[in-house]
Amino acid sequence: MLDLHDAIILACAKQGGALASLATEQTGLSRVAVSRRLKKLADAGYLQRHGAGTRQTYSQGNSRFWLGVLQRVDILNQGGEMAVWERHVAPLISDQKPNIKSLANTAFTEMLNNALDHSQAQQVAMGVHVHDGHLQMVVADDGVGIFGKITESAHLFDPRLAILELAKGKFTTAPEGHSGMGIFVSSRMMDGFAIESCGLRFDPHEINQPLPAFDWIDVAACLKPLEARTVLGMDIALNSTRTPNDVYLKYFEPNEVGSEAFHTTEIPVRLAQLSSELVSRSQAKWVMERATQFKTVILDFEGVVHVGQAFVDEVFRVFAVAHPHIQLKTTGMTPEVTQLVSLFGKC
């Protein structure tokens, strides 16, 4: 586990000179404590040793780490999300492939901007970790909590439905300044993506490849009160060949502008189950809420083991007949679900 003291020491290493003395001054730790941390960071690959004995010097290693805990108002007043990116994140990944830098730039700045604009937080914690072939990023805040805010804004009876609305895209609590594309797009640019807030978790990859806990950072030690915070984690393999255009061209229409260009959504149907199987018309209506904002709706049935007649009829007959211009597609169905959908409706 790395902390703010480690981040300060690594920042000192970039300045050259007597690292131990500078780090002791900057961290406020004892010389012995700094020496122990230098050894830990060098052994783990965050620093590279040169020389021996008392003449040892250090330079940046292959593994990279940055952690910052800043006042939200200070970030806003000092250049916003792009200033954080330019000062702290871009230098850490300057030697990575162009597509990785571009994907990380988009996802990190989008998610930090969301925290700045929506969270009503006092503090924002941000972390970046390059290690073992992966780039991982964290944006966390001590604000009102993303799912609670969506629940209130959309007048939902259960905060778990906030996750369903978030997963669809085009939902925002501030439509005058946001399009609701950021989380949808960023989650697909990354290999792993998860948001945790107030006991709830949104992970679009949770069925096949859930995002593991980041054991390099202790967000709980950075932000309080813990019960109100929102923690967002992102992961991408450094050998990924994905580009931002790969994502944009899959879900956006090049000849349109703004939210109208966002023409395709993927809806994880399992999120409408809450504590029950998908059997009711109400659940079907939760799934199809705001689906009319898109031209193509991909219904992802991964994780669904049973559907009922009323649910299928509401989606594949009632909705489909009422909105013939919307193309419905399905994916992730088990043989049983496929059979039931074929029995009760058309897809």
Note the pLDDT of residue 228. Answer: 62
Note the pLDDT of residue 224. Answer: 74
Note the pLDDT of residue 256. Answer: 57
Note the pLDDT of residue 345. Answer: 73
Q: H or E stretch including 99?
A: helix 98-118
Kindly provide the residue ranges of all beta strands, DSSP E only, lying in 150-252, ordered along the sequence.
Answer: 192-197, 200-202, 230-237
- Confidence check: pLDDT of 207 > 80: yes
Q: What is the pLDDT of residues 247-287, one digit of tens each?
A: 988 888 776 555 567 889 999 999 999 999 999 999 999 99
Q: What is the pLDDT of residues 20-46, one digit of tens each?
A: 888 899 999 999 999 999 999 999 999
Single pTM value for the model: 0.91
DSSP one-letter code for 136: E
Give the least confident one: 13-17, 132-136, 249-253, 284-288. Answer: 13-17
Residue range 188-197: average pLDDT? 95
Note the pLDDT of residue 179. Answer: 58
State the Cα–Cα distance between residues 93 and 100, nearest whole angstrom: 9
Buried b (16+ CB within 10 A) or exposed e, 283-303: bbbbbbbbbebbeebbbbbee
- Confidence check: pLDDT of 225 > 80: no
pLDDT band at 221; cut points 50, 70, 90: confident
